[in-house]
Structures are given as structure tokens and as C-alpha cells.
Amino acid sequence: MRPEGQFDSRKATAAADGATMAEHGAPHPYVHVVPFRVLFGVFASLLVLTVLTVAATKVDLGSTNLVLAMAIATVKAALVVLYFMHMRYDHPFNAVVFVTALAFVALFVMLTLLDTVTYQPELIPGYAPALAP
């Protein structure tokens, strides 16, 4: 008896002889083929958002520039994850795991930024790079 998942040369030979996976009782893989029209639409959206990001750097909006750039980057990342990584068509549990991981990354980044803001007044001039107020 072979352990689960180990290669069986008899099945490979039978498959080469024209037998299908269904005849061997093998489970069918979960595959979702995304239409070219959808992939091209996402690609075009990513290009438009990239041009928008570059255009946003030419306009001085003060501290809003960073917020705008991060919002555009978030939309672009969501498009990549949803369509190119097929998360839109995957099981919902995987989306929960992914969003939870993103939430923890955001939490750690926010805590780091809070720490930076807290210690900014204690910086000795000349010993550290200047931080914007």
C-alpha cells in the first residue's frame, strides 16, 4: 500500500495509455479560468492607476499626497490580489486569512509610526536624519 500522495507508476502508465483522471478516481482540481477580457480590463485599470499616481506627484496637496498615493496603491494591490491571484474566485476562508494578515501588517506599521512620532522631539540635531513635522 502506497502512502497518500506518493507517485504511482501504474497510474502514470494508464494515463499515458489514454485513461482519464476520472477513470482512476482522482479528484478534479479546482480551476477557474479568467476570461482574457477581464484580465485585460484589470491590466488597463492598473495602467490608468499608475498614470494617476505619477500625476498625483506633480500636484502639491500637502500631507494629502501620501494619503492619495496609499489609497491608489491599495486599490492596485486589491486588483492584483482579486484577479491575478484569483482570490475573487477562491474559498472565502482564504480571503479572511489574507485580510487578517493585512490587518496585522497595518497594526505593526501604525505602532512603528507612533513610536517614531513619540521620539521625534528627543532627536539630537546632527545625529539623525531630519524628520518632517
Query: Quick check: 57 pLDDT over 60?
Result: yes
Query: Quick check: 72 pLDDT over 70?
Result: yes
Query: Quick check: 66 pLDDT over 80?
Result: yes
Examine residue 37 and state whether it is found in any structural domain, yes or no.
yes
Q: What is the pTM of this model?
A: 0.60
pLDDT-derived band at 10, boundaries 50, 70, 90 = low
The number of domains in the chain is: 1
Examine residue 70 and state whether it is found in any structural domain, yes or no.
yes
The pLDDT score that the predictor gives to residue 64 is: 87
Burial readout 62-76 (b: 16 or more C-beta within 10 A, e: otherwise): eeeeeeeeeeeeeeb
Examine residue 8 and state whether it is found in any structural domain, yes or no.
no
Contacts of 35 (CB under 8 A, 6+ apart): none
Examine residue 88 and state whether it is found in any structural domain, yes or no.
yes
Average pLDDT over residues 60-64: 86
Smallest Cα–Cα separation from 79: which of 49, 110, 114? 49
Examine residue 127 and state whether it is found in any structural domain, yes or no.
no
**77: number of Cβ within 10 Å:** 11
69, 50 contact by CB (below 8 A): no
CA distance 16 to 12: 6
Degrees to nearest 5, angle at CA 45 with 98 and 67: 65
Query: Quick check: 70 pLDDT over 60?
Result: yes
Host domain of residue 60: 32-113
Tens digits of per-residue pLDDT, 30-48?
A: 677 888 999 999 999 999 9
